[in-house]
Amino acid sequence: MKGYLYGVKTLTFKELKDSFASPLIYSITGLFCVLMGWLFFNYLISSKELTDQTLTQSVLIPVFGNMNFIFLFLAPLLTMKSFSEEKKLHTLELLLTSRLTHFQIIISKLIATFLMALFMVAITFIFPIILAMSGYDHWPVVFSAYGGVLFSILCYLTVGIFASAMCENLIVSAILSFCILLGLMLFSITGNATNNVIVAQMFQYLAIPYHFESFVRGGIKSYNLVYMSSFICFFIYLTHIKLESRKW
């Protein structure tokens, strides 16, 4: 087990070092900060007019909703290099002939991209701190919302890593993962289009935002966790199959 974790740690550190040495992460983080700061400021200003709503309803829920939506575009950019770059540089052979298993490689890449996303999200911790200065104290909702965002991002990243394993070109990989994520998001709209309640609920259940909402509203249900965990495991497994398919 120690050897297994050592392998994961080695590759994760290498990935992180690579990513933080490139200007891409800083550009994405800068863009993310500008967008989130502007949205937070606007929601905060307009909350003065919405006197019948709490700060959670008028500021936090929309801010986290937007954060989740923005990551739909940013997650593919974070993951596009994961396997595509390795294929392009022919370094995937180095990893595949090493002692690392496929799952070690996939998990290392997932952890590294997740830590990059965490670095971006960490900057938004300042929002609840600003709200706390005006007496806001619904901390469980804040933590639940952050949990939801991180879980949701983890789902996006697994899709991105799978797309990256599929393609050799970075741009194609980013577009593919964005298309899959957008398709999954459209499930909830498809649900609205049908008159059949059961079908509508099934479609809704398949969309990530439906489960994410429960987190943001502070009402996490067991099936939300089951859905997100299954989603992550499913795409990790698909990536494993893709790597394994080199042997077919």
Partner 1 sequence: MTLAIDLSQVTKEYPGILALDKVDLKVKKGSIHGFIGPNGAGKSTTMNIISGLIPPTSGEVKVQGLDCLREYQKVRGLIGLLPENPPLYQNMQVEEYLTFCQKINMPYESTKTERNSLKQEIIERCGLHEVTKRLIGNLSKGFRQRVAMAQALCSDPEIVILDEPTVGLDPNAIHDVRELILELKEKYTILLSTHQLHEVGRICDEVTIINDGKILRSGTIQEVQSEFSAFQTYEALVASMNDGLRKDLLSKSFIEGMDILHENEGELLRIRVSSGGEDHRSQLTKLISHQAELLEFRSKKMELEDIFREVVK
Smaller CB distance to partner 1: residue 48 or 99?
99
Interface characters, 42-81, with partner 1 (x: CB under 8 A): ----------------------------------------
Report the residue number, 2 or 48, with the smaller CB distance to partner 1.
2
Integer Cα distance of 114 and 158 in angstroms: 10
Residue 100 interacts with partner 1 (CB under 8 A): yes or no: yes
Least separation in angstroms between residue 156's CB and partner 1 is 26
Residue 18 binds partner 1 (CB under 8 A): yes
CB closer to partner 1 out of 93 and 137: 93
Residue 6 near partner 1 by CB under 8 A: yes
The answer to whether residue 94 forms part of the interface with partner 1 (CB under 8 A) is yes
- CB nearer to partner 1: give 110 or 155: 110
Minimum gap (Å) between residue 112 Cβ and partner 1? 14
Sites of contact with partner 1 (CB under 8 A): 2-3, 6-7, 10-11, 14, 18, 21, 89-100, 246-247
